[in-house]
């Protein structure tokens, strides 16, 4: 059995940990991550009201009271062959008001849905407003999202995209 003891008067030797190689490696890692740093763009969701399916469960209980029905507007969006907006037509559903054309641009659409949202607010309907977008087959998703986006920003919570001439 051996027993080690510090001899009196012997200096204590502190272990020397080499920091420099570790620092070199850390700098290399840092350089790698800085060079490959590419922050992901922020993605978000836009909620949709899907078209009704016969026999399927309904999102909303149908209202029997006329006053509880939301103000329902239909905007028809015709698409050009290149997928852009060709024509915009606005009509209030369940009324005899004739459909009217508005200039075919997202900016005009925005102004129009703002006017419609103001109309809904003025009517003070508890159910609010409903917007149906009847969309042409060729319209690109880019424009579909822009139209839904403008509708939500104007204050419509119930926006349902359906194909043009089909309900």
Partner 1 sequence: MSHGGSDKCEPNLVPLLDLVLQLVMFFMLCANFVLEQTSVAIVLPKAIAAKALTQAESYTIFLNVDEKGRVLLAAADQYKDSEGRVTESLDNAAQVLTFLRRRAQEDRNAVGAAANADAPLRSVIILRVHKLCPFEKTYPIMFACRQAGYTRVQLRALFDGSTD
Note the residues at the interface with partner 1 (CB under 8 A).
19-20, 22-23, 26-27, 29-30, 33-34, 36-48, 50-53, 56-57, 59, 79, 83, 135-142, 144-146, 148-149, 152-153, 161-163
Contacts of 114 (CB under 8 A, 6+ apart): 154
- Least distance (Å) from partner 1 to the CB of residue 64? 21
Q: Which is nearer to partner 1, 23 or 118 (CB)?
A: 23
- Least distance (Å) from partner 1 to the CB of residue 109? 13
Q: Which is nearer to partner 1, 89 or 92 (CB)?
A: 89
Q: Are 88 and 108 in contact (CB under 8 A)?
A: yes
Q: Which is nearer to partner 1, 70 or 151 (CB)?
A: 151
- Least distance (Å) from partner 1 to the CB of residue 115? 17
Contacts of 103 (CB under 8 A, 6+ apart): 88
Structure tokens belonging to residue 103: 């200039």
Total Cβ atoms within 10 A of residue 132: 20
Structure tokens belonging to residue 94: 């369940």
In angstroms, the CA 47 to CA 50 distance is 9
- Least distance (Å) from partner 1 to the CB of residue 165? 12
């Amino acid at each position: 059995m051996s027993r080690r003891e510090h001899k009196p008067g012997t200096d204590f030797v502190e272990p020397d940990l080499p920091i420099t190689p570790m620092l070199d490696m850390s700098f290399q890692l840092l350089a790698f991550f800085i060079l490959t740093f590419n922050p992901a763009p922020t993605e978000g969701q836009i909620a949709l009201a899907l078209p009704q399916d016969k026999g399927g469960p309904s999102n909303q209980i149908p209202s029997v009271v006329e006053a509880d029905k939301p103000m329902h507007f239909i905007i028809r969006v015709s698409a050009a062959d290149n997928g852009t907006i060709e024509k915009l037509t606005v009509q209030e559903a369940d009324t005899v008001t004739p459909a009217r054309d508005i200039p075919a641009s997202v900016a005009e659409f925005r102004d129009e849905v703002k006017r419609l949202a103001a109309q809904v607010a003025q009517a003070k309907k508890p159910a609010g407003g409903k917007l149906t977008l009847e969309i042409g087959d060729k319209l690109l998703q880019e424009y579909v999202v822009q139209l839904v986006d403008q509708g939500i920003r104007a204050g419509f919570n119930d926006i349902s995209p359906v194909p043009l001439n089909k309900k």
